[in-house]
Amino acid sequence: MSSGRKIRVLIVDDSAVVRRYASEALAADPEIEVVGTAEDPYVARDRLRELSPDVLTLDLEMPRMDGLTFLKLLMQSRPMPVIVMSSLTQRGSDYTLEALRLGAVDFLGKPDSHSSFGDLGPQLIAKVKAAAAAKVRAYCPEARAPTAHPFGAVPARPALNPSSHGHNPRSIILLGASTGGTEALRDVLTRLPGNLPGIAIVQHIPGTFSKAFADRLNGLCELEVREAVDGDRVTPGLALIAPGGFHMLLQWAANHYRVRVTGGPPVWHQRPAVDILFKSAADCGAAPHAIAGLLTGMGKDGAEGLLRLREKGAKTFAQDEASCVVYGMPKVAWESGAAQVQIPLDRIASHLIGRFESAHHPENSTAALPS
């Protein structure tokens, strides 16, 4: 967005109440202008032509045409930043994850009262601002051909050498992400074999959606993926995702890692926070055996923790700017020296695999990750 120009927002929702509350919430920020509203996709189509908004908020369950169908058509013909407003239900979670696959930038759980929307107002403002600066890619049906799985094809996975099965129990992979991260994590995890060391992940996500997200990935990956429960053991072939609304910490217990799932105040306005996971990993001695990275996302969360990990011997990376939806967290990590390298999204899986191949073949270790 150019300096001094307000972000123009179109709100699409069949509920007049939600349209009003969302408009009121966004009007509180002087950098945002709600230029119009629409009660269904057909009206939205006309409003798009008339008003040329920068960002669109989209309900997924509407009359005449559902939001997913509209989103698919929109991302094919007029790609633009879209924030999904979804109901806090299992079906709403499934629809939201599919919307993110189709190209939506971010999402927000739809509140059921004015007071709860008031609480979500600052989040909606932040998401609109991030969306306005996001990279948006057109939806290409040919590149995402439907398969038997409802969430699309699984990318090809590079093979891990069979001799790499026996990992040091201290070995661990740590990942953090925010805006655009659900699809970035899908891209990475679906390319990984099932015999890597355990993985601990923090994705900024509301509690209602985190289990659906983990379940979705579990159906796509060779790895087992699940929402973390307090006390879960981190084992090879398992990826644990922090539950929305809770922090996740790493602890070393005799001969293995366990996660703690706790409350506590938000960090960088986030709970779960990446910094909580990364700093706990550094403090429990994981750093010399860890590879940790930050994927796409707005804000600064994770950079401090990543720097602490690097200073204690971890191999660290950040997703590169060109492949990020929002180059925020990775940018801070790179500019602060927390990340040793920047890597395109489609090479992160191979990078992780190479790291643990080199651990079993020391003669190749210098080629896996430049310092």
For 231-265, the pLDDT digits (tens) are: 999 999 999 999 999 999 999 998 999 999 999 99
316 and 288 Cβ atoms separated by less than 8 Å: no
- CA 203 to CA 219: how far, in whole Å? 18
pLDDT per position as a tens digit, 195-235? 999 999 999 998 889 999 999 999 999 999 999 999 999 99
- DSSP-derived 3-state class of residue 368: helix
178 carries an active-site annotation: yes
pLDDT in tens, 95-142: 999 999 999 999 988 766 555 666 788 889 999 999 999 999 877 665
DSSP label at residue 154: P
Of 86, 93, 167, 204, the active-site residue reads 204
| Residue 249: half-sphere exposure toward Cβ, Cα within 13 Å | 14
Which tokens hold the place of 126? 């932040």
Q: Which of these is catalytic: 13, 275, 301, 320? A: 301
Report the pLDDT value the prediction gives residue 113, as an integer from 0 to 100. Answer: 59
Q: Which residues pair with 292 in a beta bridge?
A: 174, 316
The mean pLDDT value of the chain amounts to 87
Q: Give me the architecture of the 7-132 domain, per CATH.
A: 3-Layer(aba) Sandwich (3.40)
Q: Is 204 among the residues known to form the active site?
A: yes
pLDDT tens digit string along 164-190? Answer: 456 788 999 999 999 999 999 999 999
CATH ID of 167-368, from 3.30.420.240, 3.40.50.300, 3.40.50.180, 3.60.20.10: 3.40.50.180
pLDDT band at 370 (very low <50, low <70, confident <90, very high): very low
Please name the residue ranges forming H helices in the chain: 16-27, 41-51, 67-77, 90-102, 114-132, 181-189, 207-218, 274-283, 303-311, 329-335, 345-360, 365-368
> Range(s) for CATH 3.40.50.180 in the chain?
167-368
Neighbours of 72 (CB within 10 A): 16
CATH 3.40.50.2300 placement within the chain: 7-132
pLDDT band at 3 (very low <50, low <70, confident <90, very high): low
- Quickly state the pLDDT bin for 371 (edges 50, 70, 90): very low
Q: Which residue among 178, 210, 280, 323 is the active-site one?
A: 178
Q: What is the pLDDT of residue 234?
A: 96
66 is catalytic: no
